[in-house]
Structure formats: structure tokens, C-alpha cells
Chains A and B, each alone.
Chain A
Amino acid sequence: GAVVSQHPSRVICKSGTSVKIECRSLDFQATTMFWYRQFPKQSLMLMATSNEGSKATYEQGVEKDKFLINHASLTLSTLTVTSAHPEDSSFYICSAILGGPNYGYTFGSGTRLTVV
């Protein structure tokens, strides 16, 4: 089946540094990918929609200059958390839509970011 590979699975970084998270569709082309964030005991919250070849669409309250999204190819979207702070510590998950008769959403395995 369709697989989305996300890495790193876990990263610890110092406050003020930047962290890049990659999301790859392994056996299909993903025109659109989604980035979610989950805080403890909370729901998955959509941060932004990543469209190949165009600018990402950010949800209200999500700083686009802080969470840089690049979707330069049909198989790769990246999320860069710039100048990370402890409050950015969270679980980040990417997702892609499968179109056509196999419609569905497939998720990456997630990245646990801890900013110290």
C-alpha cells in the first residue's frame, strides 16, 4: 500500500536552532501533503497544507515564517521549524491524500520534537 516516510522520528534541539522534518511519499505522487501537530492529550491540529510547486496554505494562528514548508517535488515535503523554542516541542505528523478509487489519507510515523 501507499507509504509516507517521515524522518527524523525523534529530535532534540537547542532553543534558537532550526529543525527540518522530511515527509516522502514512497510509491505514489503526492500533489498535496498536510502537516499536523499534536500536543499531549490534544487532537491532531492541521498546521498547513503543502502544495507541490506553490506556496503552502497555513491555518489561522500558525506562523508561516516560523514553520517553513517546502514542497519542491511530488514526493517530498519538508517542514522547517525555525528558531525553535520550548513551546514548539510537540509531535509533528505529515499526511498525504491518495486520489482516485483508492481515496484515503496516509500518515507518516510522526516526529517528536523536543526543544531544550
Chain B
Amino acid sequence: DQQVKQNSPSLSVQEGRISILNCDYTNSMFDYFLWYKKYPAEGPTFLISISSIKDKNEDGRFTVFLNKSAKHLSLHIVPSQPGDSAVYFCAASNYGGSQGNLIFGKGTKLSVKP
């Protein structure tokens, strides 16, 4: 049973427009969420994170929104750039608990067209 779900395997966006990547989770014990960007044959690169005590975190073009009641988070990229084309993974952790590992979604492949 997948605890972190990214239901859209791919997303195509025009350069300059907004990219919205979605993620749902089932485990209410998760208290920390992260987004990673991954190019083929490379390790994931950290993008942005959010604690469960917040509902929004912003860093430059990247904003993550958390809706705890819906167990849903989203990553907004605006404006989107061709260099943003990659696979984006949503990940969750219950840092305060006994587990320290990350649970990943399956990823969403973002293509930003010039």
C-alpha cells in the first residue's frame, strides 16, 4: 500500500506558465514533507520542504502548499523554465518518530516546453 502517491506520471507545461505537481499521503504520522528533483542517472536534488505545522513554504520560484486535512501537498513552480524539466519526487517522513527514512512517491515527469 503506497503511503505517498503522485497520481500524475507526467506533466507538460509551456515555458513561463505555472507548473503544479500534486502529492497525496495516507499516513497521518508524517510530519515533514520534501520535494526532490531528479535527472536520469543522478541522485535526487533537494528542492523545498515543509513541516506539518505550516501550510506554505516559499523559496524563489518554488512554493509548497500543505493541506493536512486533505493529506495533500502540491509544488508550484512559477514561472516554469525548460531547465525545470525533470522527474519530481514527493517524499514524507515522521522525523519525530522512530523512523528516519523517507517514503517516496513514484514521481512526476515534468516537461517544460520552450
Contacts and interface: CB of A to CB of B under 8 A. Distances in A.
A joins B in a complex: yes
Interface of A: 6, 9-10, 32, 34, 36, 41-46, 49, 91, 93, 95, 97, 103-110, 112
Contacts of A108: 43
Contacts, number: 53
Given A43-B89, A43-B107, A44-B89, A105 B102 contact: yes
Interface residues of B, number: 22
B34 A105 contact: yes
Q: Is the interface of A mostly helix, strand, loop or mixed?
A: strand
Contacts of A32: 100
Nearest to B44: A107
B72 interface: no
Contacts of B34: 104-105
